[in-house]
Structures are given as C-alpha cells and as structure tokens.
Amino acid sequence: MKINQNYIKHILAVECGSWKKTFFLDKDNYSIGRNSTNTFFCHHRVISRNHAHIIRVNYQSLVDSERSENVFWLMDGDFFGRRSTNGIYVNGKKCFCAKLNPGDIIFFGGIDVKAKYDIVNLQSKTFYSIAYPDYESIFAEKVYNSEMSDLSIFSAFTDENFAILELISQGVFIVNLESSEIVKVNQNYAQMLGYLSSEIIGLKLEELDCCEKEIINHDLSTLAQNNVKSCRYSIHQGKEKKLINVLVKSVPINYQEQKCILVSVENNSNLQKLEDALRYQSSHNLSTNLGNKNLLEKQLAWSLGFNSLKESNIALIKIKVNQWDNISNYFSQEIVSKLLENLIFIIKKHLSSIDCLCQISADEFIILKEEIINESQVNTIIEQILTDLKQPITINGNSIILNVNLGVTIHPQDGKNFHELIKNTNIALESSYEYGNSNCQFFTENIAKTITIKNKNFMLMNDVISSNKFVLKYSPIVSAKTEILSGFNATINFVEEKTDLQELDILLKVQESNYDEDLLLWSLEQILKDYNSWMEDRQTFDLKISLKVLLSTLMKDNVIDKVSELITPENQFPSVELEIVLDNSLVEENFIIERLNILSNSSLNYGLFSPDIQTFFAFMREKIKVNTLKTSPRLIKNLEGNSGEEKLISCGVDLAQFLNVDLVIEGVSTENQKDILSSIGCDRMQGLFFSPALESEKVPYFLEKSRVE
C-alpha cells in the first residue's frame, strides 16, 4: 500500500528532567548545542556550545516521483568537524556519526539530556518504532542485486550534454561511483571553490565534501543500487580551506560506459548566513549582543527541567538601571553605548561561564544563575556588583555614577515556572526601592502582600494628586542630651489619611505624575504661611525647618532659580533647609555639582537625606558642602546593642564630625533606641519617641512648652 508522504513526519523528542519538547525534522540540517544560535538550543553544562548536528538526505524515486524517503544522520560536533567535549551516544554506543532509525535513543554528553528519534504517521497516529519495529527503506526497486558494472537502468550522459551545463550558474561535476574520483567539472564549480578545473579532476569526492565519510559512502551506495536521486546539505572545502555551505543534488548516470553520478552544487552560504542571523536576532539584543527575553525563557526552561533531577536552586536576579531615560537623553549616543559596555563588563566579571546575562529592556537585565547553594552565594555577587558601581565611570571626561536596584527570586521556593519567577522578581525589585537606591531585595510572600497593598494605595493617591489634597505636618527635631528643640522637619501628607504610604513613596509617585516641581513650590509657600501664623503675637524663634526634595526634582531646568526667587529676604522666610533625597536620578557628577553650586550660592541651606552612610560618603567625596546629614528610619529599625547598625552609625558620627556637618537620626521610636544612639555620640533626633508629626495649628502649643535654641 502506497503511503501518503505528506502525513509522514520525522521527529526528535528531547527531554531533560521535567523539560520535554518534540521537534519536527523538516529541514535539511540542524545544529544542537549550548550556543543560543543553534537550531536546537540545549542549555546544560554537559552540552558543548556546538555539540552535534543532524543532516537530512532526501531520496526520490526516478521511477515514481511521488515516492521519496528522508534519511537523517546524527554527527558529533559542528558542521566543520570540531567534536564535542562529552560526545554523543546512540542506543548506548558512543559514536561520531550514526544513521538514525525509528526508536533510537540518543544521549548528549551524559544521561541528563536524552532524545528519541522516530517517524510518525499523522494520519494513522502511529509511530514507526512501535508499528514497524523492523522498518526498512520504502524502495523496493533494487537494481536486481546487480554488479556495479550493470548499466541497464542508468541514463546515458555525454560530453555534449555536459557542455550545456556550462551555461548554468550552479556548480556541476561528475563522480565515478567505483573510484569516487571526480572525472568532469564545470567552470562555475571550479570558480566557486577557487580552483582551476584541471586541479579538481582526479580528486576524490571526500577531499572536497566535508560531510562525514560514512554519509558520503552510504549516499554513493544508495545511488548505485536504487533508481533514486538524492539531495542533502553539506559543506565543500575550497582552495586555502575556504568552507562553503552548499546544497548537493545527485543523480546516477552512465558516463562513458561507467556508473557515475552527476552532482549539482548550489552555493547557499548567503541563505545559511541569513538563517543564522535571523535566529540570532530572535534571541539577542543587537546593540549589546546579550540574550533577550526569548533566550531567557528558553534557557530557564532547560534549567528548570534539569533542576527537577538535580534538586538544586536557581536564582533570577533582575537589575534595573535607575533613570536610564534621563541618561540616554542627556548624553550622546557614543557615551551611552560605552556606559552600557562598562555596566555589562562590571556585571559579567562576577558571573561564571554557565551563568546567563540577558537584557530584557533598555534599562533592565536579568541574571540566570544555576546551582545555587544558599542566598549568601547570591548576596556575594550582588555586593560585588554594587561595590563596583559605587565608583564613577569616566567616559570622554564625564564622570558618571550608575545607580541600580535589584530583585531576586529563588527556584523552587519562589515560583515553579518562568512566568511565576519573573512576576515575583518584579515584586522583589519594586520592594527594593523601599530601602532607597542601590539596594537589593529577595522575594517573600510578605513582600508580595505589601506590594499589593501599596499598589492599591497608589491608586488612591492618584485621586489625591488630581485634587491637590496635600497637607504639611511638622516633626520636631530635638537634642537627646538637652531636650532643646532645634527645628522641625516638614513632611508631606494627605488631607485625608487613606493610606500608610511613607513620605518618599509620595514624593516618587508625585514625580511620576510630573507634579513634583509644583508640590515643592507649594510646600515652601505653605511653610512660610504656617511660620507666619506661629509667630503672630509671639517672639521670633530662630528655628530651622527642613523639607525633603528629590535630587531629580532639583535637576530640572529652572527649579533652583524658582526656589531662590521664592526665598528672597523680602518674603521674610524662616531658616529653611532642603533635605536632598538621593533618588534614582541621573547621577553625572559634573552636572550635579553645577546645579548644587547654584543652590549653595543662594540664601537657602541644604542637607542630605541618605538611606545609608555609604551613599553619603560617596556623595561627599567631591567635597560638596552640605550642612546636615539625615539618616533613614530604616537604618535604626532593628537597632540593638552591639549590632551592625550601631557600628555603621558610629562610623557616620565620626564622618559627620570630620566633615563638620550635623547628623540627625530620623525614626527614633523607643527610649532604648535613644539611649543606644546617645551612647555612640548621636544628639539630634526626631521620631515618635519625642513627638508625632504635628499639624500646623498644634505647633504653637508645642513651642510654648518646649525649650528652644
């Protein structure tokens, strides 16, 4: 019974642990390996970058054109003869080349990555390995088991026929089947390889055809014994070992009373290059040559499958470069490209050869790290990256500090598949901003719940911004030693307290709405209004009022000028100090210094609000003069005797004294915290222990009962 060949499909089912995928073999050649440009991408440490390749040889009957058969060959290494490190095994036997039969079991480099080759009839839904265990070639018209000298079925071919082939663009030559020597060649083939025609005649086919000798011999034998023609992919070697991708078509002929084959060779190097380029483009970012999200998904799928066998951990580390749009807009394309190169170099030097770094957007990267033992292993990499990024990158005279935040998930505890892990990595990254810039956060379920609540709060906050329902409250700043009031910190709040968002959350959200400049000017006007109301019928107190403002807000055009105009002596402003928050803004040192110099030349004082002492030190190394350093409440949240936080704050006290700046500790909520801070030299503090944030109308009463500087 004749089988409809349209329903016959050759398949390769590959699996690694829980990862399984079936590929239809419907092309002339396939590459298999860890290199992302391979046709079959296999991310596993036992797999070489170019581990194996598959070639299809198509045979078509010369008696019945509707009858054809595909034979697939598996070869170790790449198409150019470079072998893999760990080899291939077919049915338990290591080999360099194997003709695949239905049901063959293949191992690539070891027992973890295996595949099964089969033929399936899609119409009857049967597999040949089961339905036809003793499957043989579909060709029944053998040449009567004849000797090689029998020419009865070979078409006669003359030199006159060959002369016509000189007119076509393809390379053509004739090979003697008995000796496998080339006996005739056209000019086009000679030119393709860079030889003279006379230099090719007499060479054996395997001297030019780089395909495995076993495949060449099988092809010649099949052509000699069957009424068939063949077509296969190969690489021919030209002069000076030039390698050319070709499509080889062969047909048996009777040439000068000898069994020969007529071979046409089509140069498809450009087509092969195009296919390789398209595969590369689909899996890589062309500007950085890093893998993209498609490659990450494929590689993670392999890793998750293998992980089910090895039961080790996998880490996804998402890195976001803060304010990358501002950087791209401010600097030239040349500087931006070099900056990106430096960033990638810094990240890569802390990764191993099996780790994968992908770029999923202009300002976001993901590291896929396998075989994780514990979180400290990931922490080490992150700390190394953050430490390196604290140093400025100098390009064409521009000194630039890149600012990144990171979010981490660990498989299997934080997600079972690609989408769960990516979602939770995003949540961890978002949570890292709770601790300021240059911070990292590992995913937990509690963080996920917090972020969900925070996102709901942000939705409520959009209504507040649109209706301008803000109010200033004032937190007293007190000397812990003398209990003397030295000033207030003005904090931005909502008229109706619908959320538990912190002030920095509000400032960042307002910035997203591009309302930050208006809010800053409104806050300063409100401070003046409130201060004047406090001083009615009272003596004037020399109180300093501080107000947090994002660095990125001050970097906007004309903002500093507008602030300076507002605080002129004519307006009788109190002593106001802007607490500059080092948010995720463009940090190009010369640009910042230029803007802050303008600010320092005004009558306004400024301080620095920093989530950690290290950030303050990095900012101060250019000797930018600030009057006050204020630390984040998070720095003392877990403050206990002999804790790491205590030692860090102690260093901050010494640094503040050395730089002659005031140190204010924000967030003091217990007497124990106050006592510990006092014992290491901290004096000026604010927080719930001293007083909650006061509404403006309650400040005069607080002033009456307080000792004021």
Q: How many CA atoms lie within 13 A of 705 on its CB side?
A: 7
Cα 709 to the center of its chain, rounded Å: 55
CB of 368 within 8 A of CB of 358?
Answer: yes
**Nearest 5°: phi and psi at 123?**
-75, -45
Answer yes or no: is pLDDT of 146 > 50: no
CB of 511 within 8 A of CB of 550?
Answer: yes
Mean pLDDT check: name the lowest of 98-112, 283-297, 615-629: 615-629
CB of 485 within 8 A of CB of 476?
Answer: yes
Q: Check: CATH 1.10.10.60 for 155-272? A: no
**CA–CA separation, 461 and 453 (whole Å):** 12
**CA–CA separation, 521 and 505 (whole Å):** 19
Answer yes or no: is pLDDT of 623 > 50: no
Handedness of CA 175, 178, 180, 181 (dihedral sign): negative
Q: Mean pLDDT across the stretch 499-522?
A: 78
Mean pLDDT check: name the lowest of 130-144, 178-192, 389-403, 531-545: 130-144
Give this prediction's pTM.
Answer: 0.59
Residue 589: predicted pLDDT? 58
Residue 79: predicted pLDDT? 82
Which run of H or E residues covers position 246? strand 243-255
**Above pLDDT 70, what percent of the chain?**
85
For residue 590, what are its two tokens? Answer: 């010369």
CB of 128 within 8 A of CB of 137?
Answer: no
**If DSSP codes are grouped into helix, strand and coil, which group holds residue 247?**
strand
Which pLDDT band, with edges at 50, 70 and 90, does 674 fall under? very high
**If DSSP codes are grouped into helix, strand and coil, which group holds residue 649?**
helix
**If DSSP codes are grouped into helix, strand and coil, which group holds residue 669?**
coil
Q: Mean pLDDT across the stretch 118-144?
A: 73
Residue 84: predicted pLDDT? 93
Residue scoring higher pLDDT (674 or 646): 674
Which pLDDT band, with edges at 50, 70 and 90, does 442 fall under? very high
**CA–CA separation, 548 and 72 (whole Å):** 70
Q: Mean pLDDT across the stretch 120-126?
A: 86
**If DSSP codes are grouped into helix, strand and coil, which group holds residue 89?**
strand
**CA–CA separation, 24 and 469 (whole Å):** 62
**If DSSP codes are grouped into helix, strand and coil, which group holds residue 464?**
helix
CB of 709 within 8 A of CB of 484?
Answer: yes
Residue scoring higher pLDDT (67 or 173): 173
Residue scoring higher pLDDT (638 or 105): 105
For residue 35, what are its two tokens? Answer: 């290199």
Domain residue limits, the chain: 5-141, 155-272, 288-443, 454-708
Residue 300: predicted pLDDT? 85
Which pLDDT band, with edges at 50, 70 and 90, does 118 fall under? very high
Answer yes or no: is pLDDT of 148 > 50: no
**Nearest 5°: phi and psi at 513?**
-85, 0
Which of 139-143, 324-328, 439-443 is predicted most confidently? 439-443
CATH superfamily of 288-443: Reverse transcriptase/Diguanylate cyclase domain (3.30.70.270)
Residue 454: predicted pLDDT? 66
Mean pLDDT check: name the lowest of 96-100, 304-308, 396-400, 483-487: 304-308
CB of 485 within 8 A of CB of 708?
Answer: yes
CB of 563 within 8 A of CB of 521?
Answer: yes
Mean pLDDT check: name the lowest of 40-54, 175-189, 325-339, 587-601: 587-601
Answer yes or no: is pLDDT of 199 > 90: yes
Which pLDDT band, with edges at 50, 70 and 90, does 269 fall under? confident
Answer yes or no: is pLDDT of 453 > 50: yes
**CA–CA separation, 413 and 374 (whole Å):** 12
Q: Mean pLDDT across the stretch 626-652?
A: 78
Closest CA to 67 of 4, 144, 136, 132: 4
Q: Mean pLDDT across the stretch 646-660?
A: 82
**If DSSP codes are grouped into helix, strand and coil, which group holds residue 653?**
helix
Q: Mean pLDDT across the stretch 472-480?
A: 93
Residue scoring higher pLDDT (488 or 582): 488
Residue 137: predicted pLDDT? 61
Q: Mean pLDDT across the stretch 613-635?
A: 69
Question: Right CATH number for 5-141 from 2.60.200.20, 3.40.1520.20, 3.40.50.1470, 2.60.40.790?
Answer: 2.60.200.20
Q: How many CA atoms lie within 13 A of 709 on its CB side?
A: 13
One-character DSSP codes across 618-640:
HHHTT----SEEEE-GGGGTT--
pLDDT digits (tens, 9 = 90+) for 162-188: 888 877 888 999 999 989 999 999 999
Residue scoring higher pLDDT (148 or 609): 609
**If DSSP codes are grouped into helix, strand and coil, which group holds residue 14?**
strand
Residue 643: predicted pLDDT? 63
Residue 464: predicted pLDDT? 60
Residue scoring higher pLDDT (552 or 393): 393
Residues ≥6 apart with Cβ < 8 Å to 370: 303, 307, 312, 314, 354, 355
Q: Check: CATH 1.10.3130.10 for 454-708? A: no
Answer yes or no: is pLDDT of 4 > 70: no
Residue scoring higher pLDDT (449 or 389): 389
Strand order in the sheet with 440-442: 284-285, 290-291, 356-361, 364-372, 313-321, 404-411, 440-442
Residue 142: predicted pLDDT? 46
Average pLDDT, the chain: 84
Answer yes or no: is pLDDT of 588 > 80: no
**CA–CA separation, 447 and 358 (whole Å):** 25
Answer yes or no: is pLDDT of 539 > 50: yes
CB of 548 within 8 A of CB of 579?
Answer: yes
